[in-house]
């Protein structure tokens, strides 16, 4: 299969993917994301405000948690997507702090043909983020449209090389 990721034909209801990569969230990630998104909640960027909160330290911005967990799922779910169609039932089940490492897993809930695009299908997954202790920190349901194998728009973008990597087929 050229390129990476799954195509529509590769999904089946009940499949579960334990996504291979984890990501440790840093204080810098949290401050930059919070400032970039214009979130004025001081509990994310002001250590003194956070110190007197019920958590005693800055909380990681919840939309950063969603973005990281969503990103961790892409290689196994939507690498070949046309587009995301919707996010539902987003639940923030445990706070995340700088230094926590996030992991993700997804289960396929539904697979169907697209009514408007014959070269694509629609997949719905339930995903969740876990911290380094295996505790769930977030869950959601996401629906996306994904290319079918062989779709003209689902091809790898890697260019055709003008010359071979190895001239004689051997090691140089």
DSSP 70-82: HHHHTTTTTTTEE
DSSP, res 17: E
* Torsion 34-35-39-41 (CA) sign: positive
CA distance 60 to 43: 9
CA distance linking residue 139 with residue 120, whole number of Å: 26
pTM, to two decimals? 0.87
In CATH terms, the fold of domain 8-147 is Thiol Ester Dehydrase; Chain A (3.10.129)
pLDDT number for residue 164? 87
Q: What is the pLDDT of residue 168?
A: 67
DSSP character string of 103-138: EEEEEEEEEEE-SS-TTEEEEEEEEEEE-TTS-EEE
User: Where are the chain's structural domains?
Assistant: 8-147
pLDDT tens per residue across all 172 residues of the chain = 345 789 999 999 999 999 999 999 999 999 999 999 999 899 999 999 999 999 999 999 999 999 999 999 999 999 999 999 999 999 999 999 999 999 999 999 999 999 998 899 999 999 999 999 999 999 999 999 999 987 776 666 678 888 888 876 666 5
């Amino acid at each position: 299969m050229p390129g990476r990721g799954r195509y529509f034909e590769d999904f089946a209801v009940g499949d579960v993917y334990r996504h291979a990569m984890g990501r440790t969230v840093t204080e810098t990630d949290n401050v930059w994301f919070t400032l970039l998104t214009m979130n004025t909640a001081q509990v994310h960027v002001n250590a003194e405000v956070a110190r007197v909160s019920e958590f005693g330290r800055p909380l990681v911005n919840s939309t950063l948690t969603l973005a990281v967990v969503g990103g961790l799922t892409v290689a196994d779910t939507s690498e070949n997507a046309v587009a995301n169609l919707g996010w539902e039932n987003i639940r923030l089940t445990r706070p995340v702090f700088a230094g926590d490492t996030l992991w993700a897993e997804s289960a396929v809930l539904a697979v169907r043909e697209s009514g408007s695009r014959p070269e694509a299908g629609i997949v719905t997954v339930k995903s969740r983020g876990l911290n380094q202790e295996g505790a769930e920190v977030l869950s959601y349901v996401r629906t996306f449209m994904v290319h079918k194998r062989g779709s003209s728009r689902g091809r790898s973008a890697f260019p055709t090389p003008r010359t071979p990597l190895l001239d004689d087929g051997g090691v140089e």
